[in-house]
């Protein structure tokens, strides 16, 4: 009796607490980002058949402008006003404008995307004059389709262009008919302002939908089998995860912060960036006068919240036993996201005014269930050869994972960002857990074995919808641990196919100039692997980005094995145009931690690598155990991981870039120009016009 009484009165308290929060948070219900509407679609009736035809032409407009709006701040239980650069276009949600609209296309289509730069004039775009690796041209922009398999040249996916204020420019992406269907994204990529613009929310999902069935000789699109038992389409969620790091400034231009005292002689520690009631948050500098900005650890210090489609801690609504496709896109510049679900204790209170930092305590007290296992089915948009059963997905900036999620029973599930070890995280320090949202799961059909249920479902769909000459084979593959061999876009690269090699080392050079307290920091890339016995930067000769220099010339039709390392702290490697296949990821002791079931704990337990062997990606974390600049003088060469990947240079020639996807590192020089040229007809490479 006592228990019932207490429980009843507790529920009443929760209800009373929850009511105002629910009202204030009404706009924080999860929804997929709005679709970008085609030019003229409001004026005339587009024929759906024309719009979805494989060879169809699609015309879009995207405008870049300052937008006045607001972002919910759970720490203060009010909206913060903000004034940020953003993409605007037909269909953008006026209540959540700091995520770009979804662009949905199909293989074989021609996409015309006219970018209109309506930002104010910016003389630093045309008369910069100084160091190209110092942030500049904040109002210049361009567009990167990350990573559509299209030409990097001319008016296609060419990030070497600057679309300055007042300029309109038509990009045209010709998606080949064999383009993979999957989860891609787009963002600005103007060297000098990439981090500033992407951290303002200038990123959006780019979804290629396909309906190609597998045949005895060709693979199909996984989209065709992702159906419910009644053959209706599976719930399809798109999540663009972002870190919108706005600051409210005082009269001197310093970021307004809240600090807590530290034991002497340490200076007070920043625990939050704050905004007073009439302040307007902005993102206008990489480094504000009070030494606050885009540095490591400053995202955590800011106390800002990772947003999902521009929403803070949204509420998802699901049904027990109903499978869902979650397309997770890390469209931010900071914060390693270790994405998972934990069952919430039914007696737990509603979330009201939790700060970002208090999220960890809330999870510890209330999200007490085990991590819910789910199935990754695609990495960086590319369907995997077999589903990877995971408790979490580690998303570094630029990453995508598509997952099949089944909530086994009714109740609330916390969407959590689990902690990551220092060497596995952008912040270079162990991260604390964050609460990203809440899933309210309505009663349905409870499931005990979600992996088995998905095998049964997808194999039964395959038997019912696929042609007779493939359906038994595909159904058997699906029943055998969710193998997707009939749906992969790129065949494995065998040892015998490799024609050459490339070596790459990321490096941050910290030089303490004599008589100055502030070291000079430069961001660099080297072209020669590190000898693990002797760490000597002269050996790999790392250089900052130089727009006039081609750092690598690659041959069309060639297949290279790349060796990737980092000489100082960890960085996500990203290359445009052609994706790569992971061959091995060896830890400092020489153990291959990419194998399924491997344990990667050299720098603290880290789930991000095991199971990635043979997976195709376009962005990959290059781990180095060195965690802080003070570790640098005594750096052990054995702190490095060595990663091998292989890539085919297919179809496209031209100049493009590879870079670190911590975008402020990219802006400051951790980037290279790469050019694919055609063979000369003998064994060499034909010269280009440089
Ligand atoms: Cu980096």
What pLDDT, in 10s, does the model give residues 485-538?
999 999 999 999 999 999 999 999 988 777 777 788 999 999 999 876 778 888
User: Regarding predicted confidence, which is higher, 640 or 632?
Assistant: 640
Distance CA 221, CA 213 (A): 7
- Residues 286-333 pLDDT 10s: 999 998 998 888 998 998 999 999 998 999 999 999 999 999 999 999
What is the C-alpha to C-alpha distance for residues 680 and 690, in angstroms, rounded to an integer? 16
* 207 Cα–ligand 1 center, Å: 27
Nearest-CA neighbor of 434 among 305, 279, 561?
305
248 Cα–ligand 1 center, Å:
26
How many Å lie between the centroid of ligand 1 and the Cα of residue 209?
32
Q: What is the CA(194)–ligand 1 centre distance, in A?
A: 13
**619 CA to centre of ligand 1 in angstroms:** 12
DSSP assignment string, 171-216? EEEE--TTPPPEEEEEE---TTTHHHHHTTT-EEEEEE---PPP-S
In angstroms, what is the span from residue 645 Cα to ligand 1's centroid?
19
pLDDT tens digits, 604-625: 999 999 999 999 999 999 999 9
Average pLDDT score over the chain: 90
User: What's the gap in Å between 508 CA and the centre of ligand 1?
Assistant: 8
Distance 623 CA to ligand 1 centre (A): 11
Long-range contacts of 119-124 (CB under 8 A, 24+ apart): 119/64, 119/65, 119/66, 119/85, 119/165, 120/66, 120/165, 121/165, 121/166, 122/164, 122/165
Residue 191 and residue 361: Cα distance in Å, rounded?
39
How remote is the CA of residue 537 from the centroid of ligand 1, in Å?
17
- DSSP conformation class of 679: B
CA angle 634, 659, 623 (to 5 degrees): 40
Q: How far is the CA of 666 from the centre of ligand 1 (A)?
A: 7
Distance between Cα 659 and ligand 1 center (Å): 8
Task: Decide: 682 and 690 in contact? Cβ < 8 Å.
Answer: no
Q: Which residues contact 328 (CB under 8 A, 6 or more apart)?
A: 239, 241, 339, 393, 395, 400, 401, 402, 403
Confidence check: pLDDT of 419 > 50:
yes
Strand pairing of 559-566 and 500-511? Answer: parallel
Q: Is the pLDDT of residue 134 over 90?
A: yes
Higher pLDDT, 597 or 683: 597
Gap from CA of 524 to ligand 1 centroid (Å)? 9
Å from CA of 595 to ligand 1 middle = 25
How far, in Å, from the CA of 96 to the mean position of ligand 1? Answer: 29
Q: 54-63, 107-116, 439-448 — which is least confidently predicted? A: 54-63
* pLDDT given for residue 147 in this prediction: 87
Confidence class of residue 54 from pLDDT cuts 50, 70 and 90?
low
- pLDDT at residue 56 is higher than 60: yes
State the distance from the centre of ligand 1 to the C-alpha of 437, rounded, in angstroms. 28
Dist. CA 130 → ligand 1 center (Å): 22
Please, are residues 504 and 573 in contact by the beta-carbon 8 Å criterion? yes
> What's the angle, vertex CA 16, arms to CA 13 and CA 20, rounded to 5?
145
Q: Residue 572 C-alpha to ligand 1 middle, in angstroms?
A: 6
C-alpha closest to that of 275 among 22, 75, 23, 24 = 75
Q: How far is the CA of 399 from the centre of ligand 1 (A)?
A: 14
> Ligand 1 center to residue 660 CA distance, Å?
5
- Protein residues with C-beta less than 5 angstroms from the ion ligand 1: 571, 660, 662, 665, 670
- Residue 552 pLDDT level (bands cut at 50, 70, 90): very high
**670 C-alpha to center of ligand 1: Å?**
7
Q: How far apart are CA 638 and CA 428, in angstroms?
A: 18
pLDDT tens for 169-227 read 999 999 999 999 999 999 999 999 999 999 999 999 999 999 999 999 999 999 999 99
**What's the pLDDT tens digit per position in 376-400?**
999 999 999 999 999 999 999 999 9
Distance 466 CA to ligand 1 centre (A): 45
Q: Which range among 426-440, 495-509, 631-645, 657-671 shows the weakest confidence by mean pLDDT? A: 631-645
Give the pLDDT band (50/70/90) at residue 51: low
Per-residue pLDDT band at 334 (split at 50, 70, 90): confident
**Position of tokens 């900005």?**
293
Give 352's pLDDT tier (boundaries 50, 70, 90).
low
In whole angstroms, give the CA distance from residue 496 to residue 561. Answer: 11
Sign of the C-alpha dihedral computed for residues 289, 295, 301 and 304 taken in this order: positive
Cis ω for the linkage preceding 147 (within 30 of 0): yes
Q: How far is the CA of 571 from the centre of ligand 1 (A)?
A: 4
Predicted confidence at residue 635, as pLDDT, reads 75
Tokens of 89: 């276009």
- Is residue 106's pLDDT more than 50? yes
Distance 667 CA to ligand 1 centre (A): 10
Instruction: Tell how far the Cα of 576 is from the centroid of ligand 1, in angstroms.
Output: 16
Q: How many Å apart are CA 646 and CA 217, to the nearest integer? A: 24
């Amino acid at each position: 009796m006592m228990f019932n009484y207490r429980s009843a009165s507790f529920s009443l308290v929760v209800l009373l607490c929850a009511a105002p929060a629910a009202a204030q948070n009404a706009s924080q219900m999860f929804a997929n980002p709005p679709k970008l509407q085609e030019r003229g679609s409001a004026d005339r009736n587009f024929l759906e058949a024309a719009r979805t035809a494989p060879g169809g032409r699609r015309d879009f407009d995207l405008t870049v402008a300052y937008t006045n709006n607001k972002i919910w701040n759970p720490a203060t239980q009010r909206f913060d006003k903000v004034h940020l650069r953003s993409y605007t276009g037909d269909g953008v949600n006026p209540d959540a404008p700091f995520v770009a609209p979804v662009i949905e296309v199909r293989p074989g289509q021609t996409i015309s995307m006219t970018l209109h730069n309506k930002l104010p004039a910016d003389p630093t775009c045309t008369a910069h004059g100084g160091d190209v690796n110092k942030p500049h041209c904040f109002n210049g922009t361009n567009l990167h389709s990350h990573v559509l398999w299209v030409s990097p040249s001319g008016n296609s996916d060419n990030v070497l262009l600057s679309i300055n204020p007042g300029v309109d420019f038509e990009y045209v992406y010709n998606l080949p008919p064999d383009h993979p269907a999957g989860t891609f994204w787009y963002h600005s990529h103007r060297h000098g302002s990439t981090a500033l613009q992407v951290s303002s929310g200038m990123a959006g999902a780019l979804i290629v939908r396909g309906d190609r069935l597998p045949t005895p000789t060709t693979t199909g699109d996984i989209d065709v089998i992702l159906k419910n038992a009644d053959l209706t389409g599976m719930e399809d969620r798109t999540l663009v995860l972002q870190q919108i790091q706005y600051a409210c400034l005082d009269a001197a231009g310093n970021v307004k912060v809240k600090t807590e005292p530290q034991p002497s002689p340490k200076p007070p520690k920043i625990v939050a960036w704050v905004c007073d009631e009439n302040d307007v948050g902005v993102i206008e500098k990489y480094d504000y006068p009070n030494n606050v900005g885009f540095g490591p650890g400053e995202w955590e210090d800011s106390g800002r919240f990772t947003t999902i489609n521009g929403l803070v801690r949204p509420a998802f609504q699901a049904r027990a036993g109903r499978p869902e496709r979650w397309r997770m896109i890390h469209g931010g510049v900071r914060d390693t996201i270790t994405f998972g679900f934990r069952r919430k204790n039914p007696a737990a209170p509603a979330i009201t005014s939790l700060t970002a930092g208090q999220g960890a305590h809330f999870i510890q007290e209330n999200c007490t269930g085990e991590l819910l296992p789910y199935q990754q089915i695609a990495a960086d948009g590319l369907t995997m050869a077999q589903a990877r059963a995971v408790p979490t997905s580690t998303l570094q900036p630029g990453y995508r994972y598509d997952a099949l999620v089944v909530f086994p029973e009714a109740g609330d599930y916390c969407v959590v960002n689990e902690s990551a070890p220092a060497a596995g995280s952008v912040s270079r320090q162990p991260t604390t857990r964050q609460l990203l949202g809440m899933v309210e799961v309505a009663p349905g059909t409870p499931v005990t074995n979600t992996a088995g249920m998905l095998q049964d479902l997808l194999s039964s769909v395959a038997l019912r919808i696929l042609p007779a000459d493939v359906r038994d084979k595909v159904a058997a593959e699906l029943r055998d641990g969710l193998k997707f061999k009939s749906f992969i876009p790129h065949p494995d690269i065998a040892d015998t196919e490799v024609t050459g090699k490339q070596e790459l080392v990321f490096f941050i050079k910290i030089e303490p100039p004599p008589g100055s307290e502030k070291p000079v920091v430069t961001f660099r890339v080297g072209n020669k692997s590190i000898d693990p016995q002797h760490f000597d930067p002269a050996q790999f000769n790392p250089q900052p980005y130089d727009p006039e220099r081609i750092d690598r010339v690659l041959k069309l039709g060639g297949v290279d094995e790349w060796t990737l390392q980092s000489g100082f702290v960890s960085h996500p490697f990203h290359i445009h145009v052609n994706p790569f296949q992971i061959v091995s990821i060896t830890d400092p002791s020489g153990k291959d931690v990419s194998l399924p079931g491997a344990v990667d704990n050299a720098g603290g337990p880290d789930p991000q690598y095991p199971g990635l062997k043979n997976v195709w990606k376009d962005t990959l974390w290059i781990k180095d155990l060195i965690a802080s600049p003070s570790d640098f003088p005594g750096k052990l060469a054995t702190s490095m991981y060595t990663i091998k990947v292989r890539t085919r240079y297919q179809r496209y020639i031209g100049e493009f870039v590879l870079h670190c996807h911590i975008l402020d590192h990219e802006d400051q020089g951790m980037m290279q120009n790469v050019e694919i040229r055609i063979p000369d007809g003998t064994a060499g490479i034909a010269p280009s016009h440089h």
